[in-house]
Structure 1
Amino acid sequence: MTVLELRFPAGRYHATPWGRHVNEGAVEWPPSPWRIVRALVATWYLKARKDEEIPERTIRALADALSQPPVFRLPRATTAHTRHYMPYNEGKNEKTTKVFDTFVQLPVRDAILVAWDVALPAEQLAALQTLVERLGYFGRAESLVEARVLRGVTGIELNAAPLTEGTPLPPNTELIRLLAPMTPVGYKRWRTEFLAANAPLANGKKRDNKRAGAPEVPDDLFAALHADTGDLQSAGWNLPPGALYVNYIRPEDAFAPATKPRPRRSKAPPTAARYAVVSAVAPSITQAVSLADRVHDALCKWSDQGKGPAPVFTGVSDVGKPSTDHRHAHIFCEANGPRDAITHITIWAPMGFNETACLALRRLNTVWGHGGHDIRLVLHGIGRAGDFKDSALFGKARVWRALTPLVSTRHSKTFRDGRPKMDANGWQFGSGAHDLLRLLALHPQGTAATVKQLEERDRPFQFGSRRLTSLQFQAIRHHGGGKRGNGSGNAFVITFPEPVSGPLAFGYGSHFGLGLFVPVVPAAEMTTTLKPSSPP
């Protein structure tokens, strides 16, 4: 038995059956055998024919072997549709027409299993594996697909299969017709009969039928699978040459919506939202402040419902007083790729997001970018900090290292003769290290923490293969206030006596991505401690 698994990562399968219009709202379920074999042939033609990676004789033999009707195991699914207007030109006038886009909605984790009762030779099986791995979509282009051949499977729990002629319809099933390829022998017989029926009359005149201008009938099944659907329909074919309808049965509740228990809502409001950054020209982490500022402006706009922006985004209470506990929104940028391009944005607010703020977070999907390249944001989810395991910002560790420069909120202090004023730890008053220790003292677990300033000549900020210095980061907001000292910031490592949970952000612009720290080593793997160096 040969078993193929089709999984749709977008949770949607778009396919209109042969002979039906897209606005009829009909969807092909299960996928027709004709569509499956044609998809394999098309993939071979575009992605595996060059340099005879898969020889033509192998794909021909594979198409012949898979011409017998398969059986299916269908996951639970339902149908849905979208409606939109498509523009078209009628003479010199541009008009629009409404289009119904109907599709099958199925769980992302579920898959369709397609099984043929045939054992393929090793060469054909390897070819099939190569072709299905290169399938980009299946059905219409919106149907992204991940396919693979399941090895060692001897049977599946089928729920859709051909119905033998004369067999009564089993209970709790319904009858459907699917387009399937003929067998090579069946195609040869059909072609002979078709050519005989459409041969010129004895008096030499051509028969008057709709297929008078049709293309030549393909020589074999493999050639028939190459025929373009639009050409066939234009030529008046009611069925593609080499195809026939096969009666299938499927569960009568194939599209019954599944009841899903609603999870009990926690009384605690969500405190975090996470986005993926999608852009033709992704901004650099050095522009984190600028991007965070634009995200902040967009959230303030979307949350303004006539009474002003949500306080969780502005940091200003309902009575107009600025927040001093830093529980309003922090906007963090992360570069998790091979270079310094921003890949994710995380918004964290200890005070929590109310319904208005959550609606604004869901509506946020783009911010303007430099050079006309707008930055698209894809919302991963809204929840609590513990829901985002893929973000290092919410990790737990004893040692934390700067992801972006820490800019002091105070100016460095000196005596009248220019000598620096030093604190008890040997740091200059108002310097980045002194300010960091002052801010750590306000943290519940930061009173005994130690800090180490990293050398700028070592380019302390590393993102994939690129190393950066503090001077390369934008370290000031061009719009908005905030106390700020002099200098462009520094990189630090913080060591706590006990593991501490993130996020950790300190100093000027900490609500906009500056002074952000990430864990160096998880607490469970911590085997050494980092000793603070003596102050410079």
Structure 2
Amino acid sequence: MLAIAFRFPGGRYHATPWGRHVNEAAVAWPPEPWRLLRALLAVWHRKLDPARWPRTRLSALLDRLATEPPQFHLPPAVPAHSRHYLPTRDKTTLVFDAFLRIEAGQPVHAVWPALELDADQLELLDALLDGLGYLGRAESWVEAVREAPPAGRQPDCVPVEADADAENGGGGDGGEMLRLLAARPAAGYAGFRSRALTEFGRARRIADTLPADWLDALAVETGALQKAGWNRPPAAIEIPYRRRPARPSAPRHDRRPGPAIDTVRYALYGRPLPRIEDAIRVGEWLRSTVLRACHPPVPALISGHDLPPGNPHAHAFWLAESAGGDGRIDHVLIHMPDGIPAGVFGVLADPGKLREPARRRPAGDGDADDTDTRAWQLLPEWFG
């Protein structure tokens, strides 16, 4: 048996399936065998010394990996995406960045149950895995090593034969049917290439994507294949897999009680701001604002009435603050020494505007019955 563990220290796996647009926000899961082989081939080209690791040894190793489709043991993964508005000339273009969130220490195991490699092939494979920095897109940092999955655990995604069970959509144990790209073995590719050249002729755009060498066929750029009109890489085949229902995520940990929240601070927005000499009046206005926002019965801690005997100062304190130091009140605070009750948080999150009580205009300034009032927006900054 051969087993490889892939861990994603960044906690993300980015990979767009073949033939899908990036804005479909689809993620190739599990990593396709085709992607795995191309990643190992890229490591050999970029990081290994061909004199130490000859091309013939690499071809033999990858051909062995292509002869048997692997099984996969998958960790819990959560699909997510971010949206990016990229400037293009006089407008912006929306681009989706889809990925799977994976706990950093949880591995993906690819297992070839019947595959046995000799010592030279294992040595080369270890060198390739050691040089593998990412899998999928460059954001998918990866650490890969030969490692068996936990004993007794069943694979989550397995290849299935094209039998009645597969055609009926997944068999008795449920699961999702999907098709993963895998590399054709070298002999299978040679036969396919011969038939393709006979059928399509030797048009340059086709012939250029059908190199005679199997490793070269694995390395053909995706853009060149799409430009030539291939609906899948000619060196690849689709293998039906059954992916079992997702395992439940890790159990939630009980929250530990933290310190009680006893203060809320608001920024005051409006022109002009009250002067610090009016701090007591502003405190009264703040209390009136919260009282109006409360549904009856008003909590005793807010009203200050009917407090328990022996604790007459457990009510809310209404405070004004000049954080800018310019003599203007730009913040207000509500403090409750014994903590803010849970039922009051909703009111304090949006108490409405802080309003000065209506007052008559000075004589001679407008009609005698006119009144004047000022209001300021209360924006909660923090609870603590």
The TM-score with structure 1 as length reference comes to 0.46
Residue of structure 2 in register with 1:380 after alignment: none
Residue of structure 2 in register with 1:53 after alignment: 52
Identity among equivalent positions (%) equals 40
* 1:3-402 mapped onto 2 (5 Å cutoff): 3-48=3-48, 50=49, 52-67=51-66, 68-88=68-88, 93-116=89-112, 117-150=114-147, 157-168=154-165, 169-170=170-171, 171-199=173-201, 212=205, 215-253=208-246, 258=249, 260-268=251-259, 306=267
Name the CA distance, whole Å, in 2 between partners of 1:52 and 1:106.
38
The one-letter code matched in structure 2 to 1:148 is V
1:19 to partner: Cα distance: 0.2
Name the CA distance, whole Å, in 1 between partners of 2:251 and 2:145.
29
1:252 to partner: Cα distance: 3.1
The TM-score with structure 2 as length reference comes to 0.63
- Helix, strand or coil at the partner of 2:15: coil
Q: Alpha carbons of 1:259 and 1:3: their partners in 2 closer, same or farther (altered >3 Å)?
A: closer
8 Å contact kept, 1:137–1:144? yes
* 1:472-511 mapped onto 2 (5 Å cutoff): none
Q: Alpha carbons of 1:138 and 1:191: their partners in 2 closer, same or farther (altered >3 Å)?
A: same
The one-letter code matched in structure 2 to 1:63 is L
Name the CA distance, whole Å, in 2 between partners of 1:178 and 1:29.
9
The one-letter code matched in structure 2 to 1:176 is L
Q: Alpha carbons of 1:304 and 1:62: their partners in 2 closer, same or farther (altered >3 Å)?
A: farther
Name the CA distance, whole Å, in 2 between partners of 1:261 and 1:153.
23
- Helix, strand or coil at the partner of 2:267: coil
Name the CA distance, whole Å, in 2 between partners of 1:259 and 1:151.
22
The one-letter code matched in structure 2 to 1:56 is R
The one-letter code matched in structure 1 to 2:16 is T
What CA deviation, in whole Å up to 9, does each residue of 1:287-324 have, x standing for no partner?
xxxxxxxxxxxxxxxx996279xxxxxxxx98799xxx
8 Å contact kept, 1:83–1:98? yes
1:266 to partner: Cα distance: 2.6
1:195 to partner: Cα distance: 1.5
- Greater CA radius of gyration, 1 or 2? 2
The one-letter code matched in structure 2 to 1:195 is L
1:154 to partner: Cα distance: 8.9
The one-letter code matched in structure 2 to 1:174 is E
CA RMSD in angstroms comes to: 3.0
1:269 to partner: Cα distance: 7.3
Name the CA distance, whole Å, in 1 between partners of 2:218 and 2:188.
14
Q: Alpha carbons of 1:101 and 1:113: their partners in 2 closer, same or farther (altered >3 Å)?
A: same
- Helix, strand or coil at the partner of 1:58: helix
Relative contact order, CA 8 A, sep 6+: which one is greater? 2
The one-letter code matched in structure 1 to 2:155 is L
Q: Alpha carbons of 1:155 and 1:149: their partners in 2 closer, same or farther (altered >3 Å)?
A: farther
The one-letter code matched in structure 1 to 2:147 is L
What CA deviation, in whole Å up to 9, does each residue of 1:112-155 have, x standing for no partner?
00011311111111111111111111101111111111279998
Residue of structure 2 in register with 1:350 after alignment: none
1:259 to partner: Cα distance: 6.5
Name the CA distance, whole Å, in 1 between partners of 2:159 and 2:28.
15
Name the CA distance, whole Å, in 1 between partners of 2:256 and 2:322.
31
8 Å contact kept, 2:109–2:149? no
1:185 to partner: Cα distance: 1.8
8 Å contact kept, 1:187–1:220? no
